[in-house]
Protein backbone atom coordinates (compact mmCIF):
# COMPACT_ATOMS: atom_id res chain seq x y z
CA UNK A 1 0.00 0.00 0.00
CA UNK A 2 1.14 3.49 -0.70
CA UNK A 3 -0.45 6.87 -0.03
CA UNK A 4 -0.85 8.90 -3.20
CA UNK A 5 -0.54 12.20 -1.36
CA UNK A 6 2.29 11.88 1.17
CA UNK A 7 3.90 8.69 -0.05
CA UNK A 8 3.74 6.97 3.31
CA UNK A 9 3.75 3.20 3.20
CA UNK A 10 1.96 1.61 6.14
CA UNK A 11 3.47 -1.77 6.92
CA UNK A 12 0.87 -4.49 6.78
CA UNK A 13 1.77 -8.06 7.53
CA UNK A 14 -1.24 -10.12 6.62
CA UNK A 15 -0.52 -13.83 6.75
CA UNK A 16 -4.08 -14.71 5.80
CA UNK A 17 -3.81 -12.67 2.60
CA UNK A 18 -0.39 -14.18 1.87
CA UNK A 19 -1.77 -17.72 2.28
CA UNK A 20 -4.79 -16.95 0.13
CA UNK A 21 -2.57 -15.73 -2.70
CA UNK A 22 -0.27 -18.76 -2.42
CA UNK A 23 -3.20 -21.18 -2.35
CA UNK A 24 -4.76 -19.53 -5.39
CA UNK A 25 -1.47 -19.78 -7.27
CA UNK A 26 -1.08 -23.43 -6.30
CA UNK A 27 -4.62 -24.23 -7.42
CA UNK A 28 -3.85 -22.72 -10.80
CA UNK A 29 -0.59 -24.74 -10.94
CA UNK A 30 1.18 -21.44 -11.16
CA UNK A 31 4.74 -21.16 -9.91
CA UNK A 32 5.14 -17.90 -8.07
CA UNK A 33 8.40 -16.15 -8.85
CA UNK A 34 8.18 -13.04 -6.79
CA UNK A 35 5.13 -11.19 -5.66
CA UNK A 36 4.10 -7.58 -5.69
CA UNK A 37 0.85 -6.46 -4.19
CA UNK A 38 0.25 -2.77 -4.64
CA UNK A 39 -2.74 -0.88 -3.33
CA UNK A 40 -2.80 2.87 -3.85
CA UNK A 41 -4.92 5.34 -1.98
CA UNK A 42 -4.76 7.80 0.89
CA UNK A 43 -3.39 7.11 4.35
CA UNK A 44 -5.39 7.82 7.46
CA UNK A 45 -4.14 11.37 7.94
CA UNK A 46 -4.46 12.34 4.26
CA UNK A 47 -8.00 10.98 4.02
CA UNK A 48 -9.02 13.22 6.91
CA UNK A 49 -9.02 10.56 9.57
CA UNK A 50 -6.28 12.21 11.55
ZN1 LIG B 1 -0.83 10.24 3.28
pLDDT tens string 4-37: 899 887 766 778 877 888 888 889 988 777 766 6
In sequence order, the β-bridge partners of residue 40 are: 2
Residues 6 or more apart whose CB falls under 8 angstroms from that of 18 comprise none
DSSP state of 25: H
Q: Which residues have CB atoms below 5 A from the ion given as ligand 1?
A: 3, 5-6, 8, 43, 46
Q: How far is the CA of 10 from the centre of ligand 1 (A)?
A: 10
Instruction: Give ∠ CA 35-36-39 in degrees, rounded to 5.
Output: 145
Q: How far is the CA of 15 from the centre of ligand 1 (A)?
A: 24
Contact 43, 3 (CB under 8 A): yes
What's the pLDDT score for residue 13?
Answer: 73
Residue 2 has pLDDT above 70, yes or no: yes
What's the pLDDT score for residue 12?
Answer: 67
What's the pLDDT score for residue 7?
Answer: 87
Q: How far is the CA of 26 from the centre of ligand 1 (A)?
A: 35
45 to 12, 13, 49: CA distances (angstroms): 17, 20, 5
pTM above 0.85, yes or no: no
Q: How far is the CA of 50 from the centre of ligand 1 (A)?
A: 10
Amino acid sequence: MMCKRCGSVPVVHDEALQRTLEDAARTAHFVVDGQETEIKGLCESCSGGG
